[in-house]
Amino acid sequence: MVRSDNRKFDEKREVKITRNYTMYPDGCVLIESGNTKVICSAFIENRVPPFLRGEGTGWITCEYSMLPSSTQTRKQRDINRLKLDGRSSEIQRLIGRSLRSVVDLSILGEKTIMIDCDVIQADGGTRVASITGAFVALYDALSKMVEKGEIERLPLTSFLAAISVGIVENEPLLDLCYIEDSNAIADMNVVMNEYGEFIELGMTGEKRPIKEEELNKLLILAKKGIKELIEIQKEVLGFNN
């Protein structure tokens, strides 16, 4: 099939990560994945949730939202409904779980790193872009803690990224844009670390069940895409200099 943006089936969208995008957070990036754009910010707070008080360990959590102008038709703000959108709640829990999986929280002390992921333009893959960008914002925030002497070393155990895959017109595709996602037979969001280990898989057979061999093809595509994303993260953070 010919993709809407003429990419190959195993080609991810062009990704750009801009660090220090705004001046106030402890870490802030703009991640652009094709036409999807997300601002990911990290703030260090001197508190932990009640269930961790006195335990000497830290926490990482996330809030996710889509700006009203991020979609073709205006998205209503959650505050106007007086409750958090169910999709947003699911996504922010996913981002928090993913980031915590690669951090030794005991090194943080009783501090919380609050991650805010705000979608300013959506064209599919907002949650996976948020995870990939949030990791870089988190890295910068943790680096500041080391520079200030608040922690002895970076508590990261691995790099982390996420990408979408799916089956469209019976073909496996990497990194779905919105038009592909909306027509997918099946789609899946994959979170992995730099060692090729899976952190989270979320797959749905939208129009029919998925065969094992199809699932394996999707996982191979996801692994390829995430490896490329982690290389971009490392380049942005100066690891390849």
pLDDT digits (tens, 9 = 90+) for 36-46: 999 999 999 99
Nearest to 89 by CA among 65, 112, 117: 65
Q: Is 87 marked as binding a ligand?
A: yes
Q: Is residue 71 part of a domain?
A: yes
Residue type present at position 104: D
pLDDT of residue 119: 96
pLDDT digits (tens, 9 = 90+) for 54-91: 998 999 999 999 998 998 889 887 766 666 777 888 99
CATH code of the domain in which 129 resides: 3.30.230.70
Q: Is residue 32 part of a domain?
A: yes
Instruction: Identify the DSSP state of 3.
Output: -
The fraction of the chain above a pLDDT of 70, given in percent, is 98
Is a pLDDT exceeding 70 seen at residue 191? yes
Question: What is the overall mean pLDDT for the chain?
Answer: 93
- For the chain, the straight-line distance linking the first and the last C-alpha, in angstroms and rounded, comes to 39
The pTM of the full predicted model, rounded to 2 decimals, is: 0.95
Q: Is 125 marked as binding a ligand?
A: yes
Please provide the DSSP assignment of 12-53 as one string. PPPEEEEES-SSSSSEEEEEEETTEEEEEEEEEES---GGGT
pLDDT of residue 45: 95
pLDDT of residue 83: 67
Mean pLDDT of 104-117: 95
Mean pLDDT of 216-224: 96
Q: Is residue 105 part of a domain?
A: yes
Long-range contacts, 166-172 (Cβ 8 Å, 24+): 166/218, 167/210, 167/214, 167/218, 168/1, 169/1, 171/1, 171/9, 172/9, 172/214, 172/217, 172/218, 172/221
The two tokens of residue 12 are 């991810």
pLDDT of residue 81: 66
Contact present, 128 and 150 (Cβ < 8 Å): no
Nearest to 7 by CA among 29, 31, 35, 38: 35
Mean pLDDT of 190-219: 93
Q: Is residue 47 part of a domain?
A: yes
pLDDT digits (tens, 9 = 90+) for 122-173: 999 999 999 999 999 999 999 999 999 999 999 999 999 999 999 999 999 9
Q: Is residue 2 part of a domain?
A: no
Q: Is 208 marked as binding a ligand?
A: no
Residue type present at position 6: N
Q: Is residue 111 part of a domain?
A: yes
The fraction of the chain above a pLDDT of 90, given in percent, is 82
How many domains does the structure of the chain reveal? 1
Q: Is 19 marked as binding a ligand?
A: no
Q: Is residue 172 part of a domain?
A: yes
Name the CA radius of gyration of the chain, rounded.
18
Identify the domain containing residue 138 by its residue range.
15-236
Mean pLDDT of 94-103: 97
* Residue 203, H or E segment: strand 198-205
Going by pLDDT thresholds of 50, 70 and 90, the confidence category of residue 240 is confident
Sheet holding 160-168, edge to edge: 171-174, 160-168, 186-193, 198-205
Q: Is residue 143 part of a domain?
A: yes
